[in-house]
């Protein structure tokens, strides 16, 4: 009888583990589909916006308003042959695209999409976001090194210099908000903006965050790691088919996640009257994405030395000044933290 109970409990334990694994797999499949659908829409939106700025029509033939153009492009990439040059470092070359996309998948469970719409409400959610998103640099240098191509290597080296440097002001821009809220929990940060969005209290931090996040995303005018006029295509020169698609997908997935972080930190997250919280949240996120697109199609690419000068001589000192000013504000107005909470 004892042996029977022991075997029965062991079976229940194994069944529970299998059920948990199935739930996790289903969640990641859902997140993957969510990212792919959003990326295809964002690509269509960027094409339409770039056409507007350049006085063109943009995609308008495939589907209503050209909405299915991104779907056709995805099918085209699926059908392209994946070619690996013989001189590449095989495993580094093959693993780089997958490793580039994995951090984007790991970020979404902690992001609050609406009131009560967060899968994992981490107390250190902001720290988790910064730690996971920074690992994207590894995959890009892997792609540059593994390609055994001088243009790819230069693109990878530029990525290391650019992304690691701009992570400093990006993180410093968040410290003022952490000081005001007294928490790294993203839901707490959103709830603290019920009366006033942090963009009104931390306007300098928002500008620093916006500029540094553009550099982190490798978007124009800071797209030096993939500058086609000088590096062919940078770190992904040797990639084709679905391998290139993974880099492309990761870039737009990171654009979506950083826009979510910006909305959460500075624009009140899901806070808003009348409409459901998730509608406010999605509207703010896409408004922020359109700001990124506006900047991309308005400003020309700058030189590498000027980009690094902007970071080390301007953004980092300004971000440190913002932290100091926030400390003085808290000291002069001690009740501000209680008022925010």
DSSP characters for 75-104?
Answer: HHHHHSPP---TTS-HHHHHHHHHHHHHHH
Distance CA 243, CA 94 (A): 8
CA torsion sign, 222 to 224 to 229 to 233?
negative
Distance CA 187, CA 273 (A): 18
259 and 316 share one domain: yes
Residue 164, classed as helix, strand or coil, is helix
124 and 246 share one domain: yes
Angle, helix 316-332 to helix 203-216, in steps of 10 degrees: 150
For the chain, what is the domain count?
A: 2
Distance CA 322, CA 173 (A): 8
147 and 28 share one domain: no
Residues of the chain with pLDDT under 50: 4-6, 8-9, 11-12
242 and 292 share one domain: yes
Distance CA 174, CA 203 (A): 12
pLDDT value of residue 11: 47
Q: Domain span at residue 15? A: 1-79
Range 325-334, long-range pairs (CB < 8 A, 24+ positions): 325/176, 325/204, 326/175, 326/176, 326/179, 326/180, 326/202, 327/179, 330/179, 330/180
Domain finish residue from 19, 44, 79: 79
Residue range 6-47, pLDDT digits in tens: 454 454 455 656 666 676 777 778 888 888 889 899 999 999
pLDDT value of residue 20: 63
69 and 105 share one domain: no
Under 8 Å between Cβ of 106 and 134 = no
Distance CA 82, CA 249 (A): 16
CB burial readout 173-183, b (16+ within 10 A) else e: bbbbbbbbbeb
Domain finish residue from 21, 52, 79: 79
User: Phi and psi for 152 in degrees, rounded to 5?
Assistant: -65, -40
227 and 108 share one domain: yes
Q: pTM higher than 0.75, yes or no?
A: yes
272 contact partners, CB below 8 Å, separation of at least 6: 279, 280
């Amino acid at each position: 009888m004892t042996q029977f109970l022991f075997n029965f409990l062991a079976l229940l334990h194994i069944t529970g583990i299998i059920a948990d694994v199935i739930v996790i797999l289903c969640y990641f499949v859902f997140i993957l589909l969510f990212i792919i659908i959003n990326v295809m829409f964002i690509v269509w939106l960027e094409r339409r916006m770039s056409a507007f700025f350049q006085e063109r029509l943009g995609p308008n033939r495939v589907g209503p308003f050209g909405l299915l153009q991104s779907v056709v492009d995805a099918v085209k990439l699926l059908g392209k042959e994946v070619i690996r040059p013989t001189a590449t470092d095989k495993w580094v070359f093959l693993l780089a695209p997958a490793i580039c996309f994995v951090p984007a998948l790991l970020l979404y469970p902690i992001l609050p999409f609406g009131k009560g719409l967060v899968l994992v409400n981490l107390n250190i959610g902001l720290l988790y976001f910064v730690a996971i998103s920074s690992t994207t640099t590894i995959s890009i240098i892997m792609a540059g090194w593994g390609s055994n191509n001088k243009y790819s290597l230069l693109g990878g080296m530029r990525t290391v210099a650019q992304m690691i440097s701009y992570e400093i002001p990006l993180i410093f821009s968040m410290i003022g908000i952490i000081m005001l809220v007294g928490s790294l929990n993203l839901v707490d940060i959103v709830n603290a903006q019920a009366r006033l969005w942090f963009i009104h209290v931390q306007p300098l931090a928002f500008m620093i965050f916006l500029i540094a996040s553009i550099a982190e995303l490798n978007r124009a005018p800071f797209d030096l790691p993939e500058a086609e006029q000088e590096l062919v295509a940078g770190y992904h020169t040797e990639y084709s088919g679905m391998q290139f698609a993974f880099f492309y997908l990761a870039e737009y997935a990171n654009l979506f996640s950083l826009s979510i972080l910006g909305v959460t930190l500075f624009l009140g997250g899901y806070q808003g009257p009348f409409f459901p919280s998730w509608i406010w949240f999605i509207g703010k996120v896409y408004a922020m994405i359109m700001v990124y697109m506006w900047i991309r199609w308005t400003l020309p690419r700058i030189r590498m030395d000027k980009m690094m000068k902007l970071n080390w001589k301007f953004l980092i000192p300004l971000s440190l000044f913002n932290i100091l000013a926030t400390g003085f504000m808290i000291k002069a107005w001690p009740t501000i933290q209680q008022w925010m909470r």
